[in-house]
Amino acid sequence: MTDTDPATPNLSSPAHGLTYDVVVVGGGAAGLSTAASILKRRGGITVAIIEPSGSHFYQPGWTLVGGGVFKQSQTRRSEKRLIPAGADWVQAAATGFEPESNLVHLSNGSSIRYDVLVVATGLTLDWDAIEGLSETLGRNGVTSNYRYDLAPYTWQLVQTLGRGNAVFTQPPMPIKCAGAPQKAMYLACDAWRRRGLADNINVSFHTATPGLFGVKEFVPALMEYIQRYHIDLCLKSNLTKVDGRNRVATFTNVAEDGAKTTTETEFDMLHVVPPQRAPDVIRNSPLAGEGGWVSVDPATLRHTKYENVFALGDVAGTSNAKTAAAVRVQAPVVAVNVLATLDHKPAVADYDGYGACPLTVERGKIVLAEFGYGGKLEPTLPTWLLNGQKPTHLAWLLKEWVMPVLYWDGMLKGREIMVAPHKIGTPR
C-alpha cells in the first residue's frame, strides 16, 4: 500500500475501453516487481500499472528510521522513476472490478480492459478501529513505525524519554510483517540500555496474539531478549482505546478460560500497530474471498474462480507472512503464470509460502526468521554461515546494507537473484 500524493499529475488518462495485455493494480513492491518481471521475460506486450501515489516507500526501512539507523529520506523515491520501461503508469485508484467483463474502473472516471489482471493493492491500515488513536497520532507520546511520517517521531521519543512507561502493541493477525511491532520495542530497549536508562523505563508488550511469534523455533531467542530487557509480555491483550491527553491506553484481555477483562495502562510513550484489513475496493468486489482478501490458489496465486486474475503481496488471501521477502519470491511465480495464461496454457510455477522477518533484537544483531507455509523453516543460507534461530551480526548487515539494494535495484527492476520461479512438478 502506498500513500496518495495528489500533487503529482496523472501521467496517463486512458479512455474508456482501452485494453492492455496485462493490468497491474498497485504500484507498490508487489505490483512493480511483477510488472518488471513480466517485461523482462517478454517485451512487446502492453502493461498498465494503476497506482495513485507519486511516491514509493521502502516500508521495511521504517523500523530502522524509528530506531535511528536510517534517515526518513532513504525510504522514499519517486514512483515515476520506478515504473519499468515498457509499462504505462495510470495515476489513479481502482474503484471497482468487473472480472466477468475483464474491466477495472478508475477514480479518474475511466475504465481499463485487460486480458490478464494482477491485483497488488496492498492492505489498509485501520487507524480508526482504535478509539481515539487517529486524533493523537504524532503527539502526546503516541507513534507508529507503520507510517512514513511517524517513524522519525518514534526515534525522537526514544531519544527524549528518560523514565516512565513505554508501551508497545500488536493487533490481531493478519498484519504486514508480524515481527515489526517487536522490532520497534527491541531497538528502543537497546537504545535505553546503551544510555544507562534501562532501570528507569518500564516496558510492556501487549499483543493480541496467543504467542510471541507464530513459528516456535524462533521464540526462544526472542524470549531471551524479552527477559534481558525486562519486558512485561502481555499475551491476548488488544489495544481498543487511546486517551492521548491523559496518556492512558485501554486494552481488552482474554484469559485462558475465554473471559474478557478491560485494563487501563498509563504511558509516556505508546508505539501502536493498527488493525489491518483488505481494502474496501477488494472486500466489496467479486474477487474477495474469506476475510475480504483476494481468493487465490496458495501455490499458483491464480484466482480460485477467474483464471485470468492473479494476486500477490499483502492483499492475497494466502497464509504466508505478509512481507517484502514474500513478494520477492511471489513476483516471478506470478510473472511466468501470467505469461502462460496469455498463451492459453496452464500455470507453470508454484509458490511455497516463503517469507522472511528480520527481527532487530538489538542494534547490530538480528534473528532472521525465514519460513514457508505451515511454519516450515526455509533458510536461504546454510546454517553454518547464518543460523536464523540465533541473533547474528551478519543478518544485521544484510538488513542494513544488502536488502535495500536488493529491493531498489533488484526486485523492483525484475532482477531475480536467488528467486527463480519453481516449476510445478519438479523437486525443490
As a whole number of Å, the end-to-end CA separation of the chain is: 31
Its pTM stands at 0.94
Q: Which residues are catalytic?
A: 177, 357
Q: Is there a common fold for 19-123+278-353+397-422 and 127-275?
A: yes
The CATH number of domain 19-123+278-353+397-422, selected from 3.50.50.60, 3.40.1160.10, 3.40.50.150, 3.90.870.10: 3.50.50.60
* pLDDT of the chain, 428 residues: tens digit per residue: 434 343 333 444 444 458 999 999 999 999 999 999 999 999 999 999 999 999 999 999 999 999 999 999 999 999 999 999 999 999 999 999 999 999 999 999 999 999 999 999 999 999 999 999 999 999 999 999 999 999 999 999 999 999 999 999 999 999 999 999 999 999 999 999 999 999 999 999 999 999 999 999 999 999 999 999 999 999 999 999 999 999 999 999 999 899 999 999 999 999 999 999 999 999 999 999 999 999 999 999 999 999 999 999 999 999 999 999 999 999 999 999 999 999 999 999 999 999 999 999 999 999 999 999 999 999 999 999 999 999 999 999 999 999 999 999 999 999 999 999 999 999 99
Domain coordinates of the chain in residue numbers? 19-123+278-353+397-422, 127-275
Closest CA to 419 of 347, 375, 370, 365: 370
In this structure, what DSSP letter does residue 233 have?
A: E
Instruction: Copy the grid coordinates of residue 253.
Output: 484481555
CA-CA distance, 362 to 226, in Å (whole number)?
11
CA-CA distance, 39 to 412, in Å (whole number)?
12
- What's domain 127-275's architecture? 3-Layer(bba) Sandwich (3.50)
- Can you say how many angstroms the Cα of residue 183 is from the centroid of all Cα atoms in its chain? 14
CA-CA distance, 19 to 102, in Å (whole number)?
9
Tell me if residue 274 falls in helix, strand or coil: coil
* 338-343 own/partner pairs: CB under 8 Å, 24+ apart: 338/22, 338/34, 338/38, 338/116, 338/118, 338/310, 339/38, 339/41, 339/42, 341/116, 341/302, 341/307, 341/308, 342/21, 342/22, 342/45, 342/115, 342/116
